[in-house]
Amino acid sequence: MKATQLLHNLGQSLWLDNITRDLLNTGTLKRYIDELSVTGLTSNPTIFDHAIKNSSSYDPAIRKKLDEGESGEKLFFELALEDLTRAADLFRPVFDRTNGVDGWVSLEVSPLLAHDTASTLAAAKSLHARAGRPNLLIKIPGTKEGLPAIEESIFAGVPINVTLLFSREHYIAAAEAFLRGIERRIDAGLQPNIGSVASVFVSRWDAAVAGKVPTALNNRLGIAIAKRTYKAYRDLLGSPRWERIYNAGARPQRLLWASTGTKDPKAPDVLYIKALAAPFTVNTMPEGTLKALADHGDLSEIMSADGGDCEAVLDQFAAAGIDIDDLAARLQDDGAKSFVSSWKELMEVIASKSATLAKAG
């Protein structure tokens, strides 16, 4: 049995952190669903940037949209929605079979709206409505500025993937925004089952401290942070506040591991996948990591609900001079800036492609 199937049987959802028109047109995504236990998919501006820049598959659609007078951001979202609605339809049987627990795809709002709650909410509602698919999550960063938009989107009935979380504290803040939105729906007599995941980025921790800690601590910080966050997640799931919303018909916001591709060439290619094996979570992985996992026939032990040795490991990093709270804030801030940079690069690719195709007639 493939390790992907073993992980799925454990109770963890495997999502692909990629989307391209070629993946859809060649049947590769369908094969991943059928053969590698993939039950969902995430996207981001960088993924679309590379997909559009490095392929001619989008050219006919871009030409058509140019003829219709579309350009820039509007043109991009049309392309993205075409891809993601096709992917959502492929995952719809999973979504239906699991009663909406699994089978999701994700689309990110423009990061340029990050400091504008009203505009982020409007964009989230618009994109979800335009997709016309119940299994589309809208990605909103879980920054201090993004949290009000997350709460308002959940209250408005828009399924949300809270992205750009790095620490236990970031996760708890996102979970509380989700809870407030659900509780407001319950108080208003609205249906409370709104899908959501909270995405915690893992490997960037280790990249940030590479060369700054003793060799024995290499590639251990991200996993320790994940274990600490998983304990908080499990504690929340069993809390009276969460149990009340379950009793009212809501579903939990699942914890999702993001940035799980190994950055260190000296480390195992499935380092984070094996370490983050945990029931009732999602692991969204790059295509190369997914294939590597399928080729490895075993898994390590399941993550402990009590966090295991995470606090002892984090104490070692503190002793090595790493300020976890400060680094978490910096990683989230850098991540938000990176999102904006990626978005601008994507818009440049759209403009460049559009100009080239228009010139070619």
Which residues are the active-site residues? 139
Report DSSP letters for 54-73, one per residue: T-STTHHHHHHHHHTT--HH
CA distance 84 to 262: 26
Return the closest-CA partner of residue 281 out of 352, 345, 233, 332.
Answer: 233
> Residue 74: in which H helix or E strand, if any?
helix 72-97
Distance of alpha carbon 359 from alpha carbon 344, whole angstroms? 22
Q: Determine the Cα–Cα distance for residues 251 and 100; give it in Å rounded to an integer.
A: 9
Helix pair 324-360, 310-319: axis angle to 10 deg = 90
Q: Which two structure tokens, joined as six digits, stand for 293?
A: 């996992």
What is the torsion angle, in degrees rounded to the nearest 10, for the CA atoms of residue 52, residue 53, residue 57 and residue 63? 80
Amino acid at 244: R
CA distances from 172 to 21, 61, 230, 236, 298 (A): 35, 41, 11, 9, 32
Q: Which residue has the tokens 């996948």?
A: 273
